[in-house]
Amino acid sequence: MKKLLVTGSGGQLGRSVNRLMGSKYELVQTDVFEGDGIKALDITDVDAVCKAVAAEKPYAVINCAAYTAVDSQEKDVETSYRINAVGARNLAIAAEEAGAKLVHISTDYVFSGDKTTPYTEFDATGPVSVYGRTKLAGENFVKEFSRRHFILRTAWLYGDGKNFVKTMLRLSETHQRVSVVDDQIGNPTSSDELAKAIDYLLETDNYGLFHATCEGSCSWAEFAEEIFRLAGRDIEVEKLTSDEYALRNPQAAPRPHFSHLDKLMFRLTGDFAMCDWHEAIERYLA
């Protein structure tokens, strides 16, 4: 049985990878903590990463680890670069030395959000936040140090962990009305669907950069309305502009206003497609 080394295995995507791929691969699960079958691995320590990957000799490394608290990173810049950029570099170096494939997860935040049509893998990047800049740096390190890599940009991820869906459901227990931004457009994406994209690519030599989100797009407010509808909760969604929301809830990091990711590379190079976001959120809530 082929072996996969998974970083960030305690997170939303790591858990989805475990559920989907645990029966067909031998998984070496790692995170910053140790316990419950998870080995401690600090991806910012290049020697520790190279030693761990060399010892396990995996078929592939799947990097689900990231610093995703976007507002905190505006003041914690060095930690952001250490995890999102240098951590990716370390895994790329180790995977290349071990002859392993590398799957690296990136984000829609690498774009400015100034377009009005979906972003393809061929569009110029232009991150406006520390999180976006450090994730783009991570992409570049992966391209530089790993020949056999898959970079998957995703967005608005939810799964088994802290996420927008669970926040909305929690608020609906004590509020009849919630305020949500309505002028930021993106692709709500199930971590289970993203794990399927990883599983699909791993058995191929179709290396490179891919956008990997559920099909279709909506605003955060529209996403919230669908969550409440499917959950059978009669909650009013107050639709705010980003500026209106920021006056009530100041945010340190700017968000891309439009980050609909087009899955052009999947269409050009294969027959894989992720399901529509409506279908994915219905399955998740069920």
Assess whether 207 carries a catalytic annotation: no
CA 231 to chain centre: 24
Residue 21 banded pLDDT, cuts 50, 70, 90: very high
Instruction: Quick: pLDDT tens for 81-134.
Output: 999 999 999 999 999 999 999 999 999 999 999 999 999 999 999 999 999 999
Q: Is the dihedral of CA 84, 90, 92, 95 positive or negative?
A: negative
> Interhelix angle for 191-202 vs 12-21, to 10°?
50
Domain positions in the chain are 3-162+188-215+260-278
Nearest partner of 120 among 257, 268, 265, 255, judged by Cα: 265
Q: Is the pTM of this model over 0.75?
A: yes
The CATH class of the 3-162+188-215+260-278 domain is alpha beta
Check 109, 119, 131, 284 and give the catalytic one.
Answer: 131
Which tokens hold the place of 120?
């393809």
Which tokens hold the place of 186?
């993106």
What's the confidence (pLDDT) of residue 170? Answer: 97
What's the confidence (pLDDT) of residue 5? Answer: 98
What's the confidence (pLDDT) of residue 34? Answer: 85
Instruction: Quick: pLDDT tens for 150-208.
Output: 999 999 999 999 999 999 999 999 999 999 999 999 999 999 999 999 999 999 999 99
Q: Show Cβ contacts of residue 199 under 8 Å, excluding neighbours closer than 6 positions.
A: 20, 21
